[in-house]
Amino acid sequence: MNTTDRLQWVSEVEAIRDRQDQSAFAALFQHFAPRVKAYLIKTGSAPDVAEEVTQDVMATLWRKAGMFDPGKASVSTWVFTIARNRRIDIVRRNRRPEPEDLPWGPEAEPDADDVLSLQEETERLGAALRSLPDKQRTLVEHAYFGELSHSEIAEETGLPLGTIKSRIRLALDRLRHEMR
C-alpha cells in the first residue's frame, strides 16, 4: 500500500462521514474485514467469534467515521485500534482504560499538509518494518499478536518510530498553543 492508496482510504471514510456512502463502505469492508478477522483469530478468538466481532468492528467504523482524524493516524491504524479495543472489551468486565480525550476533540477539518505528512510517515514506517532483520520483525509481530508479555520485550525494539512520533508531537504542541 502506498501513500496514494492510504489517501484513498481516508477519502472513503470521509465519504461515509459526509454522505453515508455505502459503496465507500463496501470498499473498506472488502479490504479490512478479512484482515481484522485474521487478526482476531491470530490473537486467540474462535472463528465464529472472530466473524461476529469483525462485523461489529466494521459497523463501528461506519458509526465513528466522523471521529477519524487522518492527521493522527492512517485508516489501517484506526481499524487496528478499534479491533484491539473490541478484542479486550469482550474478555473484560471493564472497558480498556483509554487516555483522556484532548480538550479540542477531533478537528472539523485537519490541515491537509498534516494529513499528507502523516500518511507518508506511516508508509515509511510500514516499509521500515518489512525491512527489519527477520529476528526483530518476528519479535515485533509476536508482541502485537499477543504472544509476548511486556517483560519479555527487550528495551531495544529497533523500531524506527522517531519521525512519526515527532510529527504527531509537533501537531499536538501546535494545537495546544492555538488553544491558549
Partner 1 sequence: MTGTIKHHLTDAVLISYSAGTLPEAFDLVVATHVSLCDECRARMHAFDAVGGELLEHAEETALAPDAFAATLRQIEAQPVSPPPPPRAAPGVLPAPLRAYVGGDLGSVAWRRVGGGVSDAVLDVEGEATVRLLRIPGGVAVPDHGHSGCEMTLVLQGAFSDEIDRFGRGDVEVADDALQHKPVAEPGPDCICLAATEAPLQFSGILPRLAQRVFRI
Please list every residue from 39 through 68 that binds partner 1, using CB under 8 A.
39, 41-43, 47, 50-51, 54-56, 58-60, 62-64
Contacting partner 1 within 150-179 (CB under 8 A): 150-151, 153-155, 157, 159, 161, 164-166, 168-169, 172-173, 176
Nearer to partner 1, 112 or 145 (CB): 145
Contacting partner 1 within 85-114 (CB under 8 A): 85, 87-88, 92-94, 96-101, 103
Q: Do residues 115 and 10 touch, judged by C-beta distance below 8 A? A: yes
Does the protein bind partner 1 through residue 2 (CB under 8 A)? no
Nearer to partner 1, 101 or 109 (CB): 101
Nearer to partner 1, 4 or 94 (CB): 94
Nearer to partner 1, 103 or 113 (CB): 103
Residues in contact with partner 1, shown as a per-residue x/- string from 4 to 43 under the rule CB under 8 A: ------------------x---x--x---xxxxxxx-xxx
Q: How far is the CB of 14 from partner 1 (least distance, A)?
A: 17
Cα–Cα distance between 180 and 178 in angstroms, integer? 6
